Structure formats: C-alpha cells, structure tokens
Amino acid sequence: MTTDVLEAYEEGRGPRGRGSEPERVDTVVVGGQAGLSVGHHLQRLGVPFVVLDAETRTGDVWRRRWDSLRLFTPAAYSALDGMPFPAPPHHFPSKDEFADYLEAYAAQFALPVRHGWRVDRLSAAGDGFLVESRGRRIEARNVVVAMANYQRPRVPGFAADLAPDVVQLHSRDYRRPDQLPADGVVLVVGAGNSGAEIALELAASRQVVLAGRHPGELPFDIDSRLAHALLIRLVLRGLFHRVLTVDTPVGRRMRSKATTRGGPLIRTKARHLRAAGVKRVGRVTGARDGRPVLEDGTVLDVAAVVWCTGFRPGFEWIDLPLQTTELGEPLQSRGAAVGVPGLYFVGLHYLYAHSSSMIHGVGRDARRVAEQVAARQAAPLATAAPTSRPVAARPA
Ligand SMILES: Cc1cc2nc3c(=O)[nH]c(=O)nc-3n(C[C@H](O)[C@H](O)[C@H](O)COP(=O)(O)OP(=O)(O)OC[C@H]3O[C@@H](n4cnc5c(N)ncnc54)[C@H](O)[C@@H]3O)c2cc1C
C-alpha cells in the first residue's frame, strides 16, 4: 500500500469505515495507558479488538506533563501487566521514561493501536455500538472506555473575571517556570499533589502563594530506605490495592472522600513547602477588580495564577443512556456499565480500588473487564449484565 493510501486510511478518507458500510470489529477499546492494559488482556484471551487513541504517539499524555515531573511510584510499581519497567525497582521514572515504556509496551505485544483516532461519538447500533471519529465509523459488539475520568481541565468560572494582565495556566499546560512572569506573586490554586509540586518548583525562582486545604500527606519520605524496603509496598500494594476497595467498609468510606477531595500528598510535604518559603492561604472564592479573592475576603495582588483545580471527566462524546452517581461518575460494577450491556470502563478514579487509576493498579480492572468481554463472546447476550453490586456515590 502506498503512503498516500495509508494516510488516506488513517485520516478516514480511505475505504476503512467511511462511506456506506462501517468497519466491523468485535471490541473497540478507547484510550491510552489503560487502553494498552485492556488490549494486553484481550489479546491473551483471544478476543479480536482495536485500540483507538486520540494521541499521535503512545505516551504523549505523559510527555506533555511538566518537565521536572518524576513519577511518585518507583519502577517496581510503574509497570503494566506482562512487562517490567526496565530500571532498578527503586528508581522513580521521569515522565518521558515512562512515556517511552508505554510505547515499548505497545510494540512488545504488537497491540493494534490506531493513533489520531479521537472518538467524537459513541452510540447504540443494534445489539452493539457505533464508534465515530471524524467521519470514520466502526461497529462493535463491545466497547471499553479505558481512560481516567479526568480528561478536561476544570477551572472555576470566576477565572474569566481576572484582569488580562494576570497570566493564567492550568496544571495540564504548565511545563516550566519560565512560562510565568519573573516578577510578582504566582498564586497556585489547589494544594493537592500537582499544586504542591508545582508550587515547590516555582518557589525556587518566584514568590509563591498556595491556596487551598491541605489534603494530608504520607507520613514518610518516599525516597527513604525504609520506604524502599517496606513502606511503599505496604501503601501501594497493601493499602491502595487490597484494603481501600469498594469491597471493604473502610475502602467505601475513603472512596467518597478521595473522589470529592483528592488523595494525600505523596512526595511533597507541608514542611518542604514551608522551607521553600511558599505562603499558604485558604480557598480562592472569586475575583474583585480583576484580582483573586480568598474566602476571608482578602484580595491578592498576583501576576499569575496556576490552576491546579483538577479535571472533569470529558465523556460528552458518549451518547448512551449511562447511569451516573451523584458525582457524575458512570455507574459500573467491576467496570461493566450498569444498564448498557457491552459497555465497560477501565481507568476511572477508584473504579474498584484506590489504585484503579494508577499504573500498578489498572491491570487488575483491565483483566476483569477483558474476562467479561471474553465471556460475552461465548454466552448469549442476556448473561452480560453486571453480576456484583454497582459502585454508588455514597455506598452504605
Ligand atoms: C500529574 C500526574 C502524575 C501522576 N503520577 C502517577 C504516578 O507516579 N504513578 C501512577 O501510578 N499514576 C500516576 N498518575 C495517575 C495515572 O497513572 C495517570 O493519570 C495516567 O495518565 C492515566 O492513564 P489513562 O490511560 O487511564 O488516562 P489518560 O492518561 O488520561 O489517557 C487517556 C488517553 O485516552 C485518549 N482519549 C481520551 N479521549 C479520547 C477519545 N474521545 N477518543 C480517543 N482517545 C481518547 C487520550 O488521547 C489518552 O491517550 C499521575 C497522574 C497525574 C495527572
């Protein structure tokens, strides 16, 4: 096939999926990192599938994150099922090293990933689904939406009321300090892991104010010997993966908290921020005369704001009768969407456990979903309904 024809196929101008007849694929997986994990398990089980990823290169979500970002999970817990991360177990990979690992993973298993396929609509078609991307169409019996439910930046509405001379960035677009003015105060809004790490980096060269509630922190340094020997395993594999799940009372209690308030600080501690001269203030609640205002009414004269205020799901392209929790998460049981047989989710925050959206935790959910898809191949459609209790926003 010539390059022209290949490009035409990839852009949907060629015969594949465009025109009168949609292409037919048994199972479509939509997503990147979580999608690779699902793909690996579907492949093992012999289910025909494709992975559709909006990125032009596997791992680009990681490559676009800020330059100094190192994972908070060491190599031993920064690998998908079936391929270890190629570094000593206590090495904390850089974001680019991890992006390259994902690319190598897709190559190692020859996973059928189609890049540049942003799905713009997923709808019902007969007993299955129609997946559409810029005019390209695929009919599938099963669809796995394999991605975190934080695809679109969330910024408060009053951001629009800040004066034009206040430089604004969301953490998704933050790369390095020189994107921000060298003079004047930088306000970092949101004191979770991203906010704390970005505030600490900026504090080396700028005056920084960090706004928001302290979410708590791990009571040890993740670079310490004790952490390497024991604590990281206890927290990541024990607590986050086995104890804090929707099957345990403590896990269900923590799920509500983690979903609404985020998790504890992992690498950066309050004392690191203090030592770096970061000033802590309460929540930002609005704007007055083009400047941000705190909950106690204080107006802050700042040159820049970095919004570390999180993300929203960004699942508007899913045109299906999804049931959702009161927090807007898709209602699902072990990844199977409630009320939409054949539709699955993997990678959602706390889908099953605190580790569900983490690298070392996604594989268990991916395997369970792949097994449900494979079981559907063999069984009549009626057996595809979820078998265990769905995840509710505030489980009893
Ligand atoms: C700053 C930061 C640091 C983190 N550090 C760690 C860490 O150290 N260790 C750890 O275990 N976890 C970490 N995580 C959590 C998690 O591993 C990452 O968020 C990871 O990127 C999640 O991967 P994902 O594939 O589930 O979703 P995403 O990374 O959000 O990827 C979504 C993929 O789906 C594609 N996509 C989205 N919409 C569509 C569509 N409509 N059609 C087609 N494709 C689409 C995107 O192109 C992308 O490739 C971190 C998260 C953040 C934000």
Helix (H, G, I), strand (E, B) or coil at 122: strand
For residue 394, the model assigns a pLDDT of 32
CB burial class (10 A; 0-12, 13-18, 19+) of residue 183? exposed
Report yes or no: 281 and 209 within 8 Å, Cβ to Cβ: yes
CA of 380 to the centre of ligand 1 (A): 34
Q: Which sequence spans correspond to the domains of the chain?
A: 3-151+313-377, 160-217+264-310
Q: Confirm or reject: Cβ of 30 under 6 Å from ligand 1.
A: yes
Does 160-217+264-310 match 3-151+313-377 at the fold level? yes
Hey, whose CA ends up nearest to atom 24 of ligand 1? 147
Question: Which segment of 2-11, 96-105, 216-225 scores lowest on mean pLDDT?
Answer: 2-11
Comparing CA positions, the residue from 383, 379, 317 lying closest to residue 143 is 317
Fold type of domain 3-151+313-377: FAD/NAD(P)-binding domain (3.50.50)
pLDDT of 15 above 80: no
User: Can you name the residues that pair with 189 across neighbouring β-strands?
Assistant: 211, 307
Helix (H, G, I), strand (E, B) or coil at 52: strand
**pLDDT per position as a tens digit, 357-372:** 999 999 999 999 999 9
What is d(CA 188, CA 201) in angstroms, rounded to the nearest whole number?
Answer: 11
What is d(CA 369, CA 41) in angstroms, rounded to the nearest whole number?
Answer: 9
DSSP, residue by residue, 284-303: EEEEETTEEEETTSPBP--S
Ligand 1 atom nearest 151 alpha carbon: 30
pLDDT of 12 above 50: no
Hey, whose CA ends up nearest to atom 22 of ligand 1? 148
pLDDT of 308 above 70: yes
Strand pairing report for 152-153 and 311-312? antiparallel
Report yes or no: 28 and 50 within 8 Å, Cβ to Cβ: yes
CA of 148 to the centre of ligand 1 (A): 6
Strand pairing report for 128-133 and 136-146? antiparallel
CA of 358 to the centre of ligand 1 (A): 9
Hey, whose CA ends up nearest to atom 25 of ligand 1? 33
CA of 107 to the centre of ligand 1 (A): 19
pLDDT of 122 above 60: yes
Q: Confirm or reject: Cβ of 53 under 6 Å from ligand 1.
A: yes
**pLDDT per position as a tens digit, 59-78:** 999 999 999 999 999 999 99
Q: Where are the alpha helices (DSSP H) in 32-168?
A: 33-44, 60-63, 95-108
Q: Which residues contact 176 (CB under 8 A, 6 or more apart)?
A: 66, 67, 68
Backbone angles phi, psi at 208, to 5 degrees: -125, 135
Q: Confirm or reject: Cβ of 358 under 6 Å from ligand 1.
A: yes
CA of 348 to the centre of ligand 1 (A): 10
Report yes or no: 195 and 174 within 8 Å, Cβ to Cβ: no
CA of 294 to the centre of ligand 1 (A): 31
Hey, whose CA ends up nearest to atom 2 of ligand 1? 194
CB burial class (10 A; 0-12, 13-18, 19+) of residue 63? middle
CA of 355 to the centre of ligand 1 (A): 13
Maximal CA-CA distance, the chain: 66
Ligand 1 atom nearest 33 alpha carbon: 25
CA of 33 to the centre of ligand 1 (A): 6
Instruction: Kindly state which CATH superfamily the domain 160-217+264-310 is placed in.
Output: FAD/NAD(P)-binding domain (3.50.50.60)
pTM for the whole thing? 0.91
Report yes or no: 178 and 246 within 8 Å, Cβ to Cβ: no
Strands (E), the chain: 23-30, 49-53, 113-115, 121-125, 128-133, 136-146, 152-153, 167-170, 185-189, 207-211, 279-281, 284-288, 291-294, 304-307, 311-312, 332-333, 336-337, 343-346
CA of 266 to the centre of ligand 1 (A): 18
Report yes or no: 189 and 305 within 8 Å, Cβ to Cβ: yes
Q: Confirm or reject: Cβ of 194 under 6 Å from ligand 1.
A: yes
Q: What is the CA radius of gyration of the chain?
A: 22
**pLDDT per position as a tens digit, 238-268:** 999 999 999 999 999 999 887 777 788 999 9
**pLDDT per position as a tens digit, 133-192:** 999 999 999 999 999 988 999 999 999 999 999 999 999 999 999 999 999 999 999 999
Hey, whose CA ends up nearest to atom 8 of ligand 1? 71
CB atoms within 10 A of CB 84: 12
- The 3-class secondary structure across 139-203, one letter per residue, is EEEEEEEECCCCCEECCCHHHHHCCCCCEEEEHHHCCCHHHCCCCCEEEEECCCHHHHHHHHHHH
Report yes or no: 269 and 225 within 8 Å, Cβ to Cβ: no
